[in-house]
Structure 1
Amino acid sequence: MDLIIRPIRESDAQDYVRLMEQIERETQYGKFEPGERIPSVEFYTSKIQQVRADEYDEIFLAILDGQLIGRAKAEGKPSRKSGHCLYLSACVIYRLQRQGVGESLVREAEEWAKQKGITRIETSVVSQNRTGVQFWRKMGYQIEGTRRNAFCLFEEMMDEYLMAKVEPVGVRVDGWKFPRW
């Protein structure tokens, strides 16, 4: 498998629309149901431009044989108090799950975050999504809390786990600066 992981470009907008539509059709535990939102190339072009303009946001794409097959989205926090944190989500088309694509995406995003001085990466998973919870645990994330009745899926209220991976930063020394300032 010749997998390419790289940051998103404006020219990816049309393929990105198709990727997100496919993922929303295939996943049970996404934040949107199929057809609930109607993304357009213009919408995603604008989102990509925003990501490109913000040095603490990034979208990484997984590409196999010229086709987008997954993405990891890193969203930084804009304040001094939480500038060391970011929120990370990842998704891969169903037929290529459990083949290392998600792991490659997350590792690339984590390496990027480390270079930015990020020491805390957060994510969230519907608690009934055992595959998702297992994946994030395998990647070193721990459950830190639960949002009760956070989602209504299959006409049932479901909880959401808040998970995080925290890198130790050690003891502060003179001259040490927080990321972003």
Structure 2
Amino acid sequence: MKKMEKKYIPLAQFFETCTQGTFTLTYEEIQNIMGHELPNAAYLNVSWWKKTKAPSTHFFAWINCDYYVTNVTLGHSVTFSCAEQDVVSDDKPQSTYITRPIEANDARAYINLQEELFAQSPFGYYTPQERNLTVQQVRKTIADWRKDKTSTILICIYNGQFAGYTMLLGNTASRTKHIANVRIAIHNDFQQKGLATVLLKEAEKWARTNGISRLEASVTITNTIAHHLFDKLNYSKEGTRTQAIKIDEQFVDEVLYSKIF
């Protein structure tokens, strides 16, 4: 693959997984995939999208996968077509997703996603509006985690939408730096697509790369879907935390899982 600016690499990964002949992405969806804002030229000039000459490199994200820009509605959407595929047109790509580390520009979308997940899930620790995170707080946390390399958030973008994430919470103490707690959440609109499995496997890759050899997870005893996920990926049950969480005025136990690499 020809070199391009780092911020366009997630977009290139997205096109690598596309199998559809023709589809349209909004500007917001493209920026969701990238984790970065598009430059002003992308809003002002159709030529920015259709150029294929140096010194620009952004177009390699789709050209290297044999996709070409066929239509641009400035500031709104871009239509891509693949010369190698039978031309089957649709408004959206089909079942195309990527996972990537969270970026500072994702802070607002991440907060919104969390609030929706808090409202949907009966198993989480927080209720809606309880955390009151700010964009500045999230951006600072991202910056701190990148320095420590013990914690991270991996975002899943499905057809240009924020679908879910996995969070790895590590330790800075030298004797426990090899351990991280893993949490996974998938939006209801993107359930039963295998994304939780994808995110957990990506979390394991990140852990290995960053010197973490033990992952831990706490799962409420009633969360059968999560139990199936951790069992499927060969996590071990280590015990039960009695009355670990209180949901609707009822105490609920948690099962402790772990995996050692």
Does TM, normalized by the shorter one, top 0.5? yes
- Who is 1:105 aligned against? 199
Q: Which residue identity is paired with 2:189?
A: R
Deviation at 1:107, TM superposition (A): 0.7
Q: Which residue identity is paired with 2:210?
A: K
1:67 aligns with 2:161: yes
The percent of aligned pairs where both chains have the same amino acid is 31
Report which of the two structures shows the higher radius of gyration computed on alpha carbons. Answer: 2
Instruction: Please say if residues 141 and 163 of structure 1, whose CA atoms lie closer than 8 Å, have aligned partners that are also in contact.
Output: yes
**RCO (CA 8 Å, sep 6+): is it higher in 1 or 2?**
1
Instruction: Please say if residues 148 and 172 of structure 2, whose CA atoms lie closer than 8 Å, have aligned partners that are also in contact.
Output: no
Structure 1 portions without partners, runs of 5+: 168-181
Q: C-alpha distance in 2, partners of 1:114/1:24?
A: 29
Instruction: Please say if residues 96 and 158 of structure 2, whose CA atoms lie closer than 8 Å, have aligned partners that are also in contact.
Output: yes
Q: C-alpha distance in 1, partners of 2:176/2:135?
A: 32
Instruction: Please say if residues 51 and 59 of structure 1, whose CA atoms lie closer than 8 Å, have aligned partners that are also in contact.
Output: no
Q: How does 1:1-181 map to 2 (within 5 A)?
A: 1-167=95-261
SS at 1:117 equivalent: coil
Instruction: Please say if residues 13 and 41 of structure 1, whose CA atoms lie closer than 8 Å, have aligned partners that are also in contact.
Output: yes
Deviation at 1:17, TM superposition (A): 0.9
Deviation at 1:118, TM superposition (A): 1.9
TM-score normalised by L of structure 1 = 0.87
Count of matched residue positions in the alignment of Structure 1 and Structure 2: 167
Q: Give per-residue Cα distances to partners, 1:68-122, cap 9 Å, x unaligned.
A: 1111111222223222211111111012122111111111110111122322110
Structure 2 portions without partners, runs of 5+: 1-94
Q: C-alpha distance in 2, partners of 1:41/1:80?
A: 30
Moved runs in structure 1, 4+ residues, more than 6 A?
none
Q: C-alpha distance in 1, partners of 2:198/2:224?
A: 20
Instruction: Please say if residues 76 and 83 of structure 1, whose CA atoms lie closer than 8 Å, have aligned partners that are also in contact.
Output: yes
Instruction: Please say if residues 149 and 159 of structure 1, whose CA atoms lie closer than 8 Å, have aligned partners that are also in contact.
Output: yes
Deviation at 1:65, TM superposition (A): 2.3
- Mean Cα deviation higher: 71-80 or 156-165: 71-80
Q: C-alpha distance in 2, partners of 1:157/1:75?
A: 25
SS at 2:240 equivalent: strand
Instruction: Please say if residues 143 and 163 of structure 1, whose CA atoms lie closer than 8 Å, have aligned partners that are also in contact.
Output: yes
